[in-house]
């Protein structure tokens, strides 16, 4: 593992929990080594997260013999080098999203991994929410029909506070974009996963607060730096098959903490999901008798995807870490049984390509057509 922040913690819990939940497990992970931005951070992370060893710098880790899979949980600007070197060292790769700073880099990473013949996974972990997978299943079962509308929002509120510091997520050189890449990428991925490819987009973005205190700065008049990414992005999209897509990502929506939602309206029914209630899926079927039609609130559990791995009845709830645990199961399964992992670097690349078009549309004030592969 390279990186030991919030996602490093989630992944570490996931590596431990996976065999306890998915038994018999395809493999029992060993936490061989961890690296981080400094020696000291790597050492502390090793103890805290229960790894066998720490190394510094990360390039050493990528080459370690006992390491079979490299888990990249670092800021966006570092993914490319790490993944390409890991691929060259013939390690399987599990990389955080967004895969890269732009579509061109992402494509290189995809091609490097493919060329090396390693398994690769991009951490669009929200796909692994049981309720999201249930949505996919209901669509595949034909319960939604032809999709007329896809609307998704990913809203947070941590950035409304003007004193929130200029962390890397607000700096284009490290993050590539703002709300778009950080959270918007997840709903772009869900649109692709649940509905289909993007054909064209019209976009507006805004940076509501243009300067923020530097993280290292303090006192009553802290030094400030420029926010050069989007605080919010609003997207109209034509998706393949004629679906109208409306997507929105913002860090400026008070009261919305991790409000990642989507709604799909089709010719036979509708689906609604809000991650803040991640153990629920809402489903409306126009095939029910007319007088008992209504949005159902389905509590996910054993009858649903990944449900048997967890608790014996619905309503006991899984948390954020479960999305990662489920992904690690898919990765282990892919490696052990030599199957393609989904989502993989192709998905990571396509998402970056769409984000390039989104930024271009915002800049040019015009509809942008996506190039097909």
Find the binding residues for its own copies in span 186-225 (CB under 8 A): 202-204, 206, 208
Residue span binding its own copies (CB under 8 A) among the ranges 72-80, 90-98, 100-108, 302-310: 302-310
Please identify, using beta-carbon distances, which residue of 85 and 280 lies nearer to its own copies. 280
Residue span binding its own copies (CB under 8 A) among the ranges 70-78, 171-179, 260-268, 344-352: 260-268
| Cis amide linkage into residue 24, ω under 30° from 0 | yes
315 binds its own copies (CB under 8 A): yes
Give one DSSP letter per residue of 98-142, joined into a string: S-SSSHHHHHHHHHHHHHHT--EEE--GGGGSHHHHHHHHHHHTT
Number of Cβ within 10 Å of residue 197's Cβ equals: 14
Give me the least distance between CB of 203 and its own copies, in Å please.
8
The closest alpha carbon to 259, from 244, 246, 243, 275, belongs to 275
> Which strand (E) or helix (H) includes residue 203?
strand 198-206
Binds its own copies (CB under 8 A): choice among 163, 220, 221, 291: 291
- Location of structure tokens 């103890």: 47
Number of Cβ within 10 Å of residue 30's Cβ equals: 12
Binds its own copies (CB under 8 A): choice among 27, 321, 333, 342: 321
Give me the least distance between CB of 270 and its own copies, in Å please.
4
The closest alpha carbon to 358, from 251, 245, 273, 281, belongs to 245
286 binds its own copies (CB under 8 A): yes
41 binds its own copies (CB under 8 A): no
Find the binding residues for its own copies in span 59-118 (CB under 8 A): none
Residue span binding its own copies (CB under 8 A) among the ranges 13-21, 34-42, 86-94, 329-337: 13-21
Binds its own copies (CB under 8 A): choice among 63, 268, 308, 339: 268
Binds its own copies (CB under 8 A): choice among 175, 270, 326, 344: 270
Count of residues binding its own copies (CB under 8 A)? 101
Q: How far is CA 116 from CA 26, 92, 95, 186, 331, in A?
A: 23, 9, 16, 27, 17
Give me the least distance between CB of 81 and its own copies, in Å please.
26
Q: Judge contact between 259 and 184, C-beta under 8 A.
A: no
> Which strand (E) or helix (H) includes residue 262?
strand 259-266
Give me the least distance between CB of 75 and its own copies, in Å please.
15
Binds its own copies (CB under 8 A): choice among 26, 56, 68, 149: 149
Binds its own copies (CB under 8 A): choice among 242, 336, 340, 360: 242
State the helix-helix crossing angle for 6-21 and 320-336, rounded to 10 degrees.
60
Residue span binding its own copies (CB under 8 A) among the ranges 60-68, 82-90, 116-124, 239-247: 239-247
């Amino acid at each position: 593992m390279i990186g030991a922040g919030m996602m490093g913690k989630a992944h570490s819990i996931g590596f431990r929990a996976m065999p306890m939940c998915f038994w018999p497990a395809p493999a029992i992970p060993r936490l061989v080594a961890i690296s981080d931005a400094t020696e000291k951070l790597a050492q502390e992370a090793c103890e805290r997260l229960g790894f066998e060893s720490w190394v510094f710098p990360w390039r050493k880790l990528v080459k370690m013999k006992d390491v079979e899979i490299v888990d990249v949980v670092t800021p966006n600007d570092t993914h490319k080098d790490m993944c390409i070197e890991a691929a060259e060292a013939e390690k399987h790769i599990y990389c955080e999203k967004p895969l890269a700073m732009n579509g061109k880099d992402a494509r290189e990473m995809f091609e490097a991994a493919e060329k090396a013949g390693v398994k690769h996974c991009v951490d669009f972990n929200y796909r692994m929410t049981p309720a999201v997978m249930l949505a996919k299943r209901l669509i595949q079962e034909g319960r939604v029909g032809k999709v007329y509308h896809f609307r998704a929002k990913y809203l947070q509120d941590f950035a409304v506070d003007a004193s929130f510091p200029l962390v890397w997520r607000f700096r284009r050189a490290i993050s590539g974009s703002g709300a778009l890449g950080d959270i918007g990428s997840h709903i772009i991925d869900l649109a692709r996963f649940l509905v289909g490819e993007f054909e064209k987009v019209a976009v507006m973005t805004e940076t509501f607060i243009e300067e923020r205190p530097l993280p290292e700065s303090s006192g009553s008049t802290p030094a400030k730096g420029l926010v050069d990414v989007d605080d919010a992005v609003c997207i109209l999209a034509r998706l393949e098959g004629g679906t109208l897509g409306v997507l929105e990502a913002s860090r400026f929506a008070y009261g919305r903490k991790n409000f990642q939602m989507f709604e799909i309206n089709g010719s036979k029914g509708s689906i609604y999901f809000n991650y803040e209630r991640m153990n629920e899926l809402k489903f409306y079927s126009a095939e029910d008798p007319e007088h008992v039609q209504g949005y159902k609130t389905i509590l996910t559990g054993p009858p649903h995807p990944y449900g048997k791995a967890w608790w014996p009845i619905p309503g006991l709830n899984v948390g954020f870490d479960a999305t990662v645990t489920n992904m690690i199961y898919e990765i282990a399964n892919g490696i052990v049984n030599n199957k393609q992992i989904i989502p993989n670097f192709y998905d990571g690349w396509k998402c970056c390509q769409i984000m390039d078009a989104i930024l271009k549309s915002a800049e040019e004030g015009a509809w942008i057509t996506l190039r097909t592969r």
